[in-house]
């Protein structure tokens, strides 16, 4: 459901001194933040202080709209879309936020009057590299699009302390350096300790009779880790809507073991704390091969458990039972990384809210949907059953039960096809039994999509062929796209300006309008200016290459650029 305050898609915002968009207020806000938030004056302020001052002045305007947007969602009881992703590759935020809030030109001019170049401030921002590439960037583009379209959408993921490594080429080799993106802090995020949740690992399950005499199962013992959320506002383009990206950081549930500490073993006492906090330490630097490491499964369960607790808390604010849940909550699984959500939602509904199995299953499957990103066998996650037994014993029981019921459906449909049952099972048999996470995601979802027409066809034919035969309506294609706000307005301002001059405002949120450019192909003047924009961009790039690498290239060449890390499966060798 789209939420806007009136029939127009643009939010009506009442401004005050602190949030006003007029130049004088912007100037004041920038100077105040340098002075009071950074505790500097025009003489002592560094370029970084000025960047933070500017970011906070923009953030004030976003925060104002953010609170209003979130309140509206509650007021109209909007259906929420939750995008669960192990990666969000947002890129730098300042330019994008200036553009989406409509402040770009005004701020640039205000700074220019003070003798400051906006470009220098933009350059100060560290990049949060919380993703590997396509999968994480898709997540970031969806956040921008959903905020722009007025959907009540939320991203949930992990606040990695170290993102994708910093690539340096030394002696003709790639050397991977840690990416300490948080070293100087991040002005966009807000820590929300009031929404902290607790996540269990390990332990055992036990049956018990509750106060109403019902037999129930509970998950007990083991270790608890805390999930501390950080919220980042996501502004829609030109709408005034501001959505939330909520990333979770792992915290030890106790600062350290006081007994051990009192016995004088300080180092040992903090070990446990470190082990818990390792969960959100670092992003796994691969999206197309499967690492199969215990820490990775911990990361996955950690953020999924945090997200589901938070989703249910929000839903329960306005709903007494779970009947409306699938009508009010949609959870999208970005690849199999969050697919443990199938078992976790079942566990919470059954064990904690005493929803009967069939009803819980209906709620779960109508709520979840799964995006598949790869056909590569080596990328498909298959966690050892033994690992599940030690880390997530209750989830394993639930997965076995889901599998037993699912295989009955398969055997009913194909009574004597034992090979097919083996192929489709959620459990892979062999020397080491494993849980097939893609199968869990397909069985637990009402929609499964591939990310390109050809990919979806191959998915239906090969990798998930048996499932497509069983449930043809479940499969659909959603070709990946990119947001024109970042990839045109922000990355290519010259071409964007030319398009705006020709088409007027509005094309950046309605790309069908680019069709109106067709007649311009016959316009010699337009073609010349189009070429000029391209040449100016290439000249910038040539200057950057010269400054950075001391290599002179001719801007009139044809450029074929690949920006990526070097990895065996990547396509850097195509050139």
Could you list the residues that contact ligand D6G (CB under 6 A)?
66-67, 70, 192, 231, 244, 314
C-beta of 324 vs 351, nearer to ligand D6G = 324
* Smallest distance from ligand D6G to CB 314, Å: 5
Residues 6 or more apart whose CB falls under 8 angstroms from that of 352 comprise: none
C-beta of 304 vs 542, nearer to ligand D6G = 304
C-beta of 309 vs 367, nearer to ligand D6G = 309
Report how far residue 379's alpha carbon sits from residue 290's, in angstroms, rounded to the nearest whole number: 5
C-beta of 156 vs 201, nearer to ligand D6G = 156
Strand order in the sheet with 427-428: 382-384, 434-436, 427-428
* Smallest distance from ligand D6G to CB 7, Å: 25
* Smallest distance from ligand D6G to CB 280, Å: 19
* Smallest distance from ligand D6G to CB 483, Å: 21
- The structure tokens listed for 354 are 């005493």
Q: 424 near 407, Cβ under 8 Å?
A: yes
C-beta of 70 vs 449, nearer to ligand D6G = 70
The residue count for the chain: 575
Report how far residue 240's alpha carbon sits from residue 65's, in angstroms, rounded to the nearest whole number: 6
Rounded to an integer, what is the distance from CA 379 to the centroid of its chain? 19
Residues 6 or more apart whose CB falls under 8 angstroms from that of 371 comprise: 332, 333, 334, 335, 448, 449, 450, 451, 478
Q: Which residues pair with 330 in a beta bridge?
A: 81
Count of helix runs (H) and strand runs (E) in the chain: 21, 17
Write the DSSP string, 334-386: ESSTTTTHHHHHHHIIIIIT---HHHHHHHHHHHEEEE-----GGGS-EEEHH
Torsion of CA 204, 205, 210, 215, to 10 degrees: -160
C-beta of 66 vs 370, nearer to ligand D6G = 66
* Smallest distance from ligand D6G to CB 192, Å: 6
Q: 402 near 479, Cβ under 8 Å?
A: no
Q: 247 near 88, Cβ under 8 Å?
A: yes
C-beta of 61 vs 314, nearer to ligand D6G = 314
Report how far residue 540's alpha carbon sits from residue 527's, in angstroms, rounded to the nearest whole number: 20
* Smallest distance from ligand D6G to CB 251, Å: 18
C-beta of 3 vs 297, nearer to ligand D6G = 3
End-to-end CA distance of the chain: 45
Report how far residue 350's alpha carbon sits from residue 556's, in angstroms, rounded to the nearest whole number: 65
* Smallest distance from ligand D6G to CB 155, Å: 12
* Smallest distance from ligand D6G to CB 3, Å: 13
Distance (Å) of CA 493 to CA 9, 96, 168, 431, 563: 25, 12, 29, 57, 20
* Smallest distance from ligand D6G to CB 312, Å: 11
Q: Which among 123, 128, 126, 122 has a CA at the least distance from the CA of 140? A: 128
C-beta of 67 vs 497, nearer to ligand D6G = 67
- The structure tokens listed for 572 are 């850097």
C-beta of 47 vs 191, nearer to ligand D6G = 191
* Smallest distance from ligand D6G to CB 66, Å: 5
Report how far residue 182's alpha carbon sits from residue 203's, in angstroms, rounded to the nearest whole number: 34
C-beta of 244 vs 490, nearer to ligand D6G = 244
* Smallest distance from ligand D6G to CB 310, Å: 6
* Smallest distance from ligand D6G to CB 191, Å: 10
C-beta of 231 vs 335, nearer to ligand D6G = 231
């Amino acid at each position: 459901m789209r939420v806007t305050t009136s029939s127009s898609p643009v939010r009506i915002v009442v401004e005050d001194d602190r949030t006003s968009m007029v130049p004088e207020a912007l100037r004041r806000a920038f100077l105040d933040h340098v002075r009071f938030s950074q505790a500097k004056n025009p003489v002592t302020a560094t370029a970084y202080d000025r960047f933070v001052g500017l970011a906070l002045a923009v953030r004030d305007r976003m925060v104002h709209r953010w609170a209003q947007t979130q309140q509206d969602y509650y007021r109209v009881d909007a259906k929420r879309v939750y995008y669960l992703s192990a990666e969000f590759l947002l890129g730098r935020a300042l330019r994008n936020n200036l553009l989406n809030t409509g402040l770009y030109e005004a701020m640039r001019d205000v700074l220019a009057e003070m003798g400051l170049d906006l470009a220098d401030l933009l350059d100060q921002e560290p990049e949060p590299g919380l993703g590997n590439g396509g999968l994480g960037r898709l997540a970031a583009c969806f956040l921008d699009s959903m905020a722009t379209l007025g959907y009540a959408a939320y991203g949930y993921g992990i606040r990695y302390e170290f993102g994708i490594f910093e690539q340096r080429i030394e002696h003709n080799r790639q050397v991977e350096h840690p990416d300490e993106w948080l070293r100087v802090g991040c002005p966009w995020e807000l820590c929300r300790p009031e929404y902290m949740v607790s996540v269990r690992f390990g332990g055992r399950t036990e049956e018990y009779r509750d106060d109403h005499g019902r037999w129930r199962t509970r998950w007990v013992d083991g270790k608890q880790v805390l999930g501390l959320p950080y919220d980042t506002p996501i502004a829609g383009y030109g709408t005034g809507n501001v959505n939330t990206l909520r990333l979770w950081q792992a915290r030890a549930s106790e600062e350290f073991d006081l007994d051990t500490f009192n016995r004088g073993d300080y180092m040992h006492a903090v070990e446990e704390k470190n082990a818990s906090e390792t969960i959100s330490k670092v992003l796994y630097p691969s999206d197309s091969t499967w690492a199969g490491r215990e820490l990775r499964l911990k990361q996955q369960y950690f953020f999924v458990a945090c997200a589901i607790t938070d989703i249910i808390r929000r839903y329960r604010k306005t709903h007494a039972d779970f009947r409306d849940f699938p009508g009010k909550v949609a959870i999208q699984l970005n690849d199999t990384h969050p697919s443990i959500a199938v078992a976790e939602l079942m566990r919470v509904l059954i064990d904690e809210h005493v929803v009967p199995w069939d009803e819980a299953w209906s709620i779960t499957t109508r709520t979840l949907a799964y995006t598949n990103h790869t056909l590569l066998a080596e990328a498909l996650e298959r966690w050892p059953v033994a690992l599940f037994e030690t880390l997530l014993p209750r989830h394993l029981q639930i997965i076995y039960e889901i599998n037993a019921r699912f295989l009955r459906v398969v055997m009913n449909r194909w009574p004597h096809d034992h090979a097919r049952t083996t192929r489709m099972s959620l459990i892979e048999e062999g020397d080491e039994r494993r849980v097939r996470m893609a199968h869990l995601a397909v069985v637990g979802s009402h929609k499964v999509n591939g990310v390109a027409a050809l990919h979806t066809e191959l998915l239906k034919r090969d990798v998930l062929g048996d499932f497509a035969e069983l449930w043809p309506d479940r499969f659909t294609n959603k070709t990946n796209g990119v947001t024109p706000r970042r990839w045109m307005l922000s990355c290519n301002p010259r071409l964007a300006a030319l398009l705006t001059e020709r088409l007027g405002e509005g094309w950046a949120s309605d790309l069908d309008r680019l069709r109106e450019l067709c007649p311009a192909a016959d316009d010699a003047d337009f073609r010349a200016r189009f070429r000029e924009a391209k040449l100016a961009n290439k000249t910038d790039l040539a200057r950057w290459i010269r400054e950075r690498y001391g290599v002179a290239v001719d801007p009139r060449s044809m450029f074929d650029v690949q920006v990526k890390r070097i990895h065996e499966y990547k396509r850097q060798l195509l050139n």
